[in-house]
Amino acid sequence: MTVRIGIPRGLLYYQYGALWERFLQGLGAEVVVTGDTSKATLDCGSVLDDVCLPVKVYFGHIYELAARNVDYLFTPRIISVAARQYCCPKIIGMPDILHSNMEQLPPLLDINVNLHQNGCSLYQAVIAAGRRLGKNPLFSLYAWHNAWQNHRREQPFFCPCRTDRQRIGLIGHSYIIHDHQISMNVIDKLSNLGFEVITPDMVSLCQAAAAAKTLNKKIFWSNSHHMAGAALTLIQSTPPVDGLIFMTSFACGPDALIGELIKRRAHALNIPCMLLTVDEHTAEAGFVTRLEAFTDMLSRRRQPC
């Protein structure tokens, strides 16, 4: 009988989900991914105090999986994905929050991934995951290799070519801007208003890292480092984007500083920048009004006076 492994559609799923799915399938498991975030997901997640919306959403997805009769939950503890960088403390502590707040949880595949000092940690994690499913190390590494080859082919590249549409850089964590419930479909809304939307995942790691070199001090959160680098790439390219929207969730720790950093850089280059904060109480009408006001302003800026 094949093992059923549940993956919650939240947090780092939006970056590594496809990779994880292929890897686990390569190990011979049946993978169950939760559906899109719904109001009910939010309600389940709201038992947590003081945490940001994406963490509540993640918790809600776990809740859904726990009821779906899976053998394992795939919740790796991702401490660091690059040398001398970290993930957000809430992501690192996530498996512990799950343990402390939910009774009767299926066993967690909470392998540690910590590339902060040790580049081999990833392979140790791969082997550990395979071992939990009764696979030998070589088999696990082979499954990971296959999954990784596919993942690598999907790497994006941002090209600042001219288009007739105005362009907006939408900067935010992928688990905010690609989650339809949290982001209120902001990408579709901006496209419908006639804008081309560029998100950080369209900018490659190398491009972002090169742009982030102009910062005085390297940012030590991987995601924020990439977001700041992507924002700098977009506003420093020729031609630069017409406007920047920094979308964040209320009480996101790193974003409080990174948002300020990006806002200051954009203002220095005379590029309009809007900070858009969402939480579970954000109402759609007010949200749309702000998008319309911002895009109207961008359109008027382009018209010759």
Partner 1 sequence: MLITFPHMGDMSIVLKTLFNGLGRQVSVPPPISKRTLELGMKYSPETVCLPFKVNVGNFIEALEQGADTIVTCGGVGPCRLGYYAEIQRSILQDLGFRFDMIVVEPAITNILKNLHRVAPKQSLPNIYSAFRLATAKMNTLDSLQQKVYRLQPREINPGEADSVRLQGVREIDTAETLTALAAVRQETESKLDSVKLRSGIQPLRIGIVGEIYVMLEPFMNQDLASHLGNMGVEVHQTMFLSDYVNGHLFRKQEYLKLFQHLAALAQPYLRHTIGGHSLKSIGHTVNMGRKNFDGVIHIFPFTCMPEIVAKNILPKVSSDANIPVLSLTFDEQSGEAGLMTRLEAFVDLLKYRRSSQTAADPD
Query: Considering the rule CB under 8 A, would residue 215 count as an interface residue with partner 1?
Result: yes
**Closer residue to partner 1 (CB): 143 or 219:** 219
169 binds partner 1 (CB under 8 A): no
Taking CB under 8 A as the rule, does residue 86 contact partner 1? yes
Q: What are the tokens at 205?
A: 């790691």
- Complete edge-to-edge strand list for the sheet that includes strand 72-73: 30-33, 4-7, 72-73
Backbone angles phi, psi at 4, to 5 degrees: -100, 120
For residue 279, the minimal CB distance to partner 1 (Å) is 11
Nearest approach, Cβ of residue 112 and partner 1 (Å): 7
134 lines the binding site for partner 1 (CB under 8 A): no
Q: 53 or 190: whose CB is closer to partner 1?
A: 53
Residue 54, H or E segment = helix 53-66
* CB of 71 vs partner 1, minimal distance in Å: 22
- Per CB under 8 A, the list member of 61, 90, 167, 226 interacting with partner 1 is 90
Structure tokens at 162: 């001219």
Q: Which of 221, 243, 244, 271 binds partner 1 (CB under 8 A)?
A: 221
Determine the 3-state secondary structure of 86 from DSSP. strand
Minimum distance of partner 1 from residue 15's CB (angstroms): 17
Q: How far is the CB of 200 from partner 1 (least distance, A)?
A: 19
Q: What does the block give as tokens for 11?
A: 């947090």
* CA distance linking residue 16 with residue 19, whole number of Å: 5
- Convert 285-294 to b/e letters by CB count within 10 Å (16 or more is b): eebeeebeeb
Query: Residue count at the site for partner 1 (CB under 8 A)?
Result: 40
CA dihedral 176, 74, 91, 95 (to 10 degrees): 140
- How far CA 128 is from CA of 110, 114, 296, in Å, comes to 10, 13, 53
DSSP run (H or E) holding 71: none
Single out the residue of 45, 18, 21, 41 nearest to residue 31, CA to CA.
21
Of residues 239 through 258, those in contact with partner 1 by CB under 8 A are 250-254, 256-257
Among 36, 43, 260, 296, binds partner 1 (CB under 8 A): 260
Closest CA to 73 of 97, 108, 99: 108
CB of 183 to partner 1, least distance (A): 18
Judged by CB under 8 A, the stretch of 7-15, 90-98, 141-149, 154-162 that binds partner 1 is 90-98
Task: Determine the Cα–Cα distance for residues 183 and 181; give it in Å rounded to an integer.
Answer: 6
From 19, 92, 133, 187, residue interacting with partner 1 (rule: CB under 8 A): 92
The footprint of partner 1 on residues 35-54 (CB under 8 A) is 48-51
Closest to partner 1 by CB, 101 vs 150, is 101
Residue 132 binds partner 1, judged by CB under 8 A: no
And the tokens for 5? 């492994």
Whole-angstrom distance, CA of residue 46 vs CA of residue 278: 15
Q: What's the rounded Cα separation, in Å, for the pair 176 and 89?
A: 17
**99 or 131: whose CB is closer to partner 1?**
99
| Cβ 85 to partner 1 shortest distance, Å | 8
In the bound state with partner 1, the residue whose beta carbon lies nearer, of 49 and 164, is 49
* Residue ranges binding partner 1 (CB under 8 A): 48-51, 77, 79, 84-90, 92-93, 95-97, 99-101, 112, 215-217, 219-221, 250-254, 256-257, 259-261, 264, 277
